Structure 1
Amino acid sequence: MPGSKTTSRWGYYVTGTALAILFLFPLLWSGWASLRTPSGFGLENYDRLFSSDGGVRPYHVLNSVLVSTMTVGGTLFVATLGGYAFGRFRFPGRDVLFLLTLAILMVPYATILIALYVLLGWIGLEDSLLGLSLVLIMFQLPFSIFMMRNSFEAVPKELEESAQVDGCNSFGALTRILLPAVRPGLVTVGLFAFLTSWSEFFAPLILLNSTDRFTTTLAVVNMRTASHGSIDYAALEAGVVFMAVPCLILFAFMQRSYVRGFTSGALKG
């Protein structure tokens, strides 16, 4: 019935709009609060965020960029090879090993951070950005390998077989044929790794001791107290917006591949 279809369509619109407002309201509120000043609106809160004692410094942003870059790169490298192995090869214990990999998701990472801190000390990576990146990569791998395995399984095997007939070995088929085909899965994995590493707070809090190695998240939290012990909420909101902007920009440019990664990769297999 035309009437029922119209009603159903309006129901989708109303529900979607309500959910959009629900999720966007905190971010819009933070943006409004970050621009509000005693005299009106301006950028005073952002100036205080970057210029006050204990505020965000350029090296804090650089540390976050380095950690995010290493985490994304390491996650993509290991997850691609792991997903390719699980999705294309048959070997003894494959299913058991894959289940053990997924079982890491059931372990709250906060419960083993102290043990990881001790382990990083043994190998000389305590209080280092590289050590922090390795920990973040480890916790990203279960989901990432799951995504990449399903992405590889969604690609017809005939493509790989035709490449091998033309003289490509397994690595050549992976780099020349399969990687372009699983690009949505790669984008999804990389985006998740970036969002996690860029906004992570608890792991840097435990694993980093030196102020000059702090990430932006730690720097924003450390400058939360203003004069007389009061909390500078306006500067904190400016820090929240500053942290959110790169994530929003990246997601805006990659949202199409991100959605395709879930629909064509994660939902198959």
Structure 2
Amino acid sequence: MRRLTGAALAILFLFPLAWSAFASVRTPSGFGLENYARLFNADNGIHFEQVFNSVAVSVLTVGGTLVVSTLGGYAFGRFTFPGRDALFLLTLAILMVPYATILIALYVLLGWIGLQDSLIGLSLVLIMFQLPFSVFMMRNSFEAVPKEIEEAALLDGCGSFRALTRIMLPAVKPGLITVGLFAFLTSWSEFFAPLILLNSTDKFTMMLTVVNMRTATFGAIDYAALEAGVTFMAVPCLVLFLVLQRSYVRGFMSGAVRG
């Protein structure tokens, strides 16, 4: 019964994506790649510039999220210091703030530090939105590792940082993959934050470009090219999830269910 329910839910969630993929190759004369040709050749379509921007934002967000959440999760999970629990709860409290309500304030803040209308500024904002979940995951992942392993490394002469990089990181690899995958999926498909924080068309990500294709002359929208854009953007997410799904599940099982 559970397998049947799981299969039904999988079909339900995969149907829109399968329909987009089908519509992206459907043409008036049959099937082909004409819609993708229009997507990449149109003046308002996806070009190398938008692909580069999306990849850059995703790489910066994933890298920054992994670094900050690893150090933060290690500190919360392994060290005792004044205000640790309060600081951890404050980090989790970011989840209770609708990020759309603070984007204007963040836009002004980025202007003060010279990162307004930049991919780096956008990446910093996306990293901030990822911190509550990421730090929570990494703290629980570190706590799931027996302390005796780390204590043995410290007795052998490793410092805290070396023990982290040599011993602890391989032990929490599933958690790292889970955090990195979530950060990638969020940054790759994010629309609202780039819409508010980016002004120059040469900084637009693929998501903004695909949405802008809906604004056409005399209301004529090329829906087939839009479906091609949706399918093109979904492929990296599907590939990464299929490749990393085992580690993704282990990350949740070993970390998220604790604490």
Q: Common fold, TM-score beyond 0.5? A: yes
1:35–1:43 Cα contact (<8 Å) kept: yes
Which whole-Å CA distance do the structure 2 matches of 1:159 and 1:245 have between them?
Answer: 39
The residue aligned with 2:36 is: 46
Is 1:163 the counterpart of 2:153? The answer is yes
1:231 Cα deviation after fit: 1.8
The residue aligned with 2:244 is: 254
1:87-236 equivalence runs, <5 A: 87-236=77-226
Residue 147 of structure 1 aligns to which amino acid in structure 2?
M
1:76–1:189 Cα contact (<8 Å) kept: yes
Residue 245 of structure 2 aligns to which amino acid in structure 1?
Q
1:226 Cα deviation after fit: 4.1
The size of the alignment, in residue pairs, is: 259
Moved over 4 A (4+): none
1:227 Cα deviation after fit: 4.7
Which whole-Å CA distance do the structure 2 matches of 1:14 and 1:120 have between them?
Answer: 49
Which whole-Å CA distance do the structure 2 matches of 1:14 and 1:135 have between them?
Answer: 41
The residue aligned with 2:52 is: 62
Which whole-Å CA distance do the structure 1 matches of 2:81 and 2:212 have between them?
Answer: 50
After superposition, give the CA deviation of every residue in 1:122-162 in whole Å (9 maximum; x if it has no partner). 11101000000000000001100000000000000000000
The residue aligned with 1:13 is: 3
Which whole-Å CA distance do the structure 2 matches of 1:13 and 1:171 have between them?
Answer: 44
SS in 2 for 1:48: helix
Q: CA RMSD in A?
A: 0.8
1:225–1:232 Cα contact (<8 Å) kept: no
Residue 45 of structure 1 aligns to which amino acid in structure 2?
N
After superposition, give the CA deviation of every residue in 1:26-62 in whole Å (9 maximum; x if it has no partner). 1100001111111111111111111012111101000
The residue aligned with 2:76 is: 86
Residue 228 of structure 1 aligns to which amino acid in structure 2?
F
The residue aligned with 1:7 is: none
- Report the TM-score, using the length of structure 1 for normalisation: 0.95
Bigger-Rg structure (1/2): 1
1:68–1:194 Cα contact (<8 Å) kept: yes
Which whole-Å CA distance do the structure 2 matches of 1:171 and 1:226 have between them?
Answer: 55
Residue 50 of structure 2 aligns to which amino acid in structure 1?
H
Which whole-Å CA distance do the structure 1 matches of 2:214 and 2:149 have between them?
Answer: 55
Q: Identity of aligned pairs, percent?
A: 80
Q: Structure 1, unaligned stretches of length 5 or more?
A: 1-10
